[in-house]
Amino acid sequence: MIRTRYAPSPTGYMHIGNLRSALFSYLIAKHNNGKFILRIEDTNQNRYELGAEEFIYKVLDLFNLKYDEGPKNSGEYAPYVQSERLNLYKKYAEYLVKEDYAYYCFCSKSTLNKERMKAREEHKTYIYPGTCRNISSEEVKKRLSAGEKYVIRQKMPREGTTSFHDLIYGDVKVENKYLDDNILLKSDGYPTYNFANVLDDALMNITHVTRGNEYLASTPKYIHLYDALRYERPEFVHFPLVLKKDRTKISKRNQDDNLIDLLDNGFLPEAILNYVAFIGWSPKNNKEFFTLEELVKEFDILRISKKPGCYDIKKLKWYNRHYIRTMKEEDYLKFTQSFLEKSYDLKDKSKEWIRDLVLLYKNQISFGAEIVIITHMFFKKEYEFNKECANFLNSDLKILDIIKLFKEEIIGLEEWNREKIKLVFGRIKNTLGVDGKLLYLPIRILISGVKQGPDLIEMIYLLGKEDILRRINLGIYFK
């Protein structure tokens, strides 16, 4: 039975890259009828960000990545939050000391800092020199009972090589002399990531360790821990980096990358999930749209790429537009109205009016909040023509006549409906002998301030007679 885990540290709010890790781990488990586990890695208490842990639960829930075991769905390997497992780390670290795979280190922070600075000055990579590796057990006892501060370090072999196989990156081999004696247990009693992660994966029976490739280089050290603890080595699956189109890294500070902003702006979970699956993975065929169930069926580890995956907000918008387009009308109305309500006063607007307005853009918007931007002209009272529009209005002498006649026709309309408005244009065409762009564009610019927009008749109808006349009066002196 395959067991994978998503093991986030609540040091920041989940972003697109984190979601991709969670999704891939989930898919690897579920494709093989395995179990997906959530483990919160909160051992770095200094970097704990308030709300980040709750957001992890919220996101997994929203994206339907149900975990079989985890903090809110306990199982036989509980607890699933590392800060609740501190006694375990201590116990196992002491066991490793006993077995000579680890040792107490009493070096002070200032000594280590000095050594580090010196290495930097000499342009060398700092590796702990092993000062405390061979302190006798009597001396260790003495110093411990004197209350000296200590950490526990992993004792790496100094000779030979270490190799392992990664399912994406293939065989990886390093010389042991480059492996640092990692700290396993810190002086505050908390384990480091390097230790807690390995121990928990082993204790929780994780068969496939799935995570970002920033951990690939440290994996040889973890191999030694598995061996020292006499646990079977798991399979390793390191996911390629996620980079943006401009080759920069994803950042939680950036609006386009962080999930809170994306969700707040009306990117749909189905669309985000569908797109994220394609960051560093591709299916056998050219199919582009997948539900989560379809991904579970199709997902094949061997089709994960080694090359960095590209996250492009434009492509995400493309996916989102597709999902908005295919929304049921009723859902779309609720969805868009929630954004309109936040920005505009809809008190005196009828249900039908709002429906007609938002439906006008159903095929066009690529995220929920865009409805606010795109319908702005229906709510604003004043606008200015940009230079290009102003130039156009002044480009032909007939334009003033078209506008004057349009105004008269509108005043004369007794019934306000789409057919009657259409007829107005027919009459202007006959009277002034104008058609096409010359007939329609001046009216469009005059009432909306811009050259492009939705269907003109629909737009005039929705704005209403009174507002159309107000707009013409505002703009009629454009000369």
Interacting stretch for ligand GLU, rule CB under 6 A, among 3-11, 100-108, 362-370, 379-387? Answer: 3-11
Tell me the C-alpha distance between 42 and 89, whole Å: 13
CA angle, 192 then 197 then 202, to 5°: 135
The least CB distance from residue 454 to ligand GLU, in Å, is 45
Q: Where are the alpha helices (H) located in 1-85, listed in sequence order? A: 16-31, 52-62
How far lies 390's CA from each of 314, 332, 396, 472, in Å? 31, 36, 11, 14
Q: Is 114 a catalytic residue?
A: no
**Residue 8 engages ligand GLU in binding (rule: CB under 6 A):** yes
The catalytic position among 30, 35, 221, 252 is: 252
Residues 35-54 close enough to bind ligand GLU by CB under 6 A: 41
Question: How many Cα atoms are found within 13 Å in the side-chain-facing hemisphere of 432?
Answer: 21
The smaller minimum CB distance to ligand GLU, of residues 7 and 105, is found at 7
**Dihedral-angle region of residue 157 (phi above 0 means left; psi in -120 to 50 means alpha; beta otherwise):** beta
Interacting stretch for ligand GLU, rule CB under 6 A, among 1-9, 223-231, 328-336, 351-359? Answer: 1-9
The smaller minimum CB distance to ligand GLU, of residues 192 and 375, is found at 192
Burial class (CB in 10 A: 0-12, 13-18, 19+), 353: middle
Binding residue (CB under 6 A) for ligand GLU from 3, 155, 208, 211: 211
Q: Is 272 helix (H, G, I), strand (E, B) or coil?
A: helix
Interacting stretch for ligand GLU, rule CB under 6 A, among 7-15, 54-62, 110-118, 357-365? Answer: 7-15
The least CB distance from residue 213 to ligand GLU, in Å, is 11
Cβ-contact 403, 469 below 8 angstroms:
no
Q: How many residues does the chain have?
A: 479
**Residue 194 engages ligand GLU in binding (rule: CB under 6 A):** no
The least CB distance from residue 197 to ligand GLU, in Å, is 5
**Residue 213 engages ligand GLU in binding (rule: CB under 6 A):** no
Binding residue (CB under 6 A) for ligand GLU from 4, 182, 197, 320: 197
DSSP for 434-462 reads --HHHHHHHHHHHHHSSS--S-HHHHHHH
The least CB distance from residue 436 to ligand GLU, in Å, is 60
The least CB distance from residue 41 to ligand GLU, in Å, is 4
Which residues are designated catalytic? Answer: 252
Q: Binding residues for ligand GLU, per CB under 6 A?
A: 7-9, 41, 197, 211, 215
